[in-house]
Amino acid sequence: MAQTQIRIGGFGGQGVILSGIIIGRAAAIHAGLNATLVQSFGPEARGSSSSAELIVSSEPIWYPYVKHLDMLVVLSQDAYNKFSPALRPRGLLVTEADLVKPEPPIPGARHFVVPATRLAEELGRKIVLNIISVGFFGAVSQLMPLEAIERAVKESVPPGTLDLNLKAFRKGWEAGEQALKQAPAMA
């Protein structure tokens, strides 16, 4: 596997950093890959810009910072506006259905829309929209097996929330699989 550069962006309180931790843990501990994680967030606890940058590779990673994104997951409009120009041609773009309007669209991107907020509301807790997004991303990216990411979710979420988070992860994964089936084939 060549290096895959990933950024997850949103605002504080959406669980962006935890999403990056889960994906990095899944890669490095459960999928036998190498991974780096660099996180960035504003000084405010909630509402400020937040992002997690990951590099996942089967080879050693010598530089931990993302330069040209292969995959971008955005949960806020500000994150889309800020990070979308760095997405490579034909890169994978995942946007949250209710919070992000991809304007201007990115020509050639493999764009998937996750209704994470709505799916989280169906589960009764909007706070799990990040775990739904992780599941969705895992399914559409096909970067790692479901089992690797699910184990990382189990190890990363707060005690007492495991059942809810596993339901959220599976709901996101199923939505991602459905989106993949409906996506046009890339040439």
Domain ranges within the chain, ordered by starting residue: 4-181
pLDDT value at position 12?
A: 85
Strands 34-41 and 87-96: unpaired
CA distance 87 to 95: 13
Task: Give the Cβ contact number of residue 183 at 10 Å.
Answer: 12
Q: Say whether pLDDT at 47 is over 70.
A: no
Count the neighbouring beta carbons within 10 Å of the beta carbon of residue 160.
7
Kindly report whether the peptide bond that precedes residue 104 is cis, defined as omega within 30 degrees of 0: yes
The pLDDT of residue 45: 53
Q: Is the pLDDT of residue 18 over 90?
A: yes
pLDDT of 108 strictly over 70: yes
CA angle at 78 for the pair 9 and 164, rounded to the nearest 5°:
45
pLDDT of residue 184: 76
- Report residue 187's pLDDT band, with 50, 70 and 90 as the boundaries: very low
DSSP state of 184: P
pLDDT tens per residue across span 51-94: 999 999 999 999 999 989 999 999 999 999 999 999 998 999 99
27 and 148 Cβ atoms separated by less than 8 Å: yes
- Using one digit for the tens of pLDDT, what is the confidence trace for 142-186? 999 999 999 999 999 998 999 999 999 999 999 999 999 998 765
Q: How far apart are CA 91 and CA 71, in angstroms?
A: 6
Residue 31 has pLDDT above 50, yes or no: yes
Q: Tens digits of per-residue pLDDT, 113-146?
A: 999 999 999 999 999 999 999 999 999 999 999 9
Query: How many angstroms separate the CA atoms of 3 and 70, rounded?
Result: 9
Look up the CATH superfamily of 4-181.
Pyruvate-ferredoxin oxidoreductase, PFOR, domain III (3.40.920.10)
Both tokens assigned to 67: 């330069």
Average pLDDT estimate for 20-48? 86
**Res 186: pLDDT:** 59
Which residue's structure tokens are 């895959």? Answer: 4
pTM (2 decimals)? Answer: 0.94
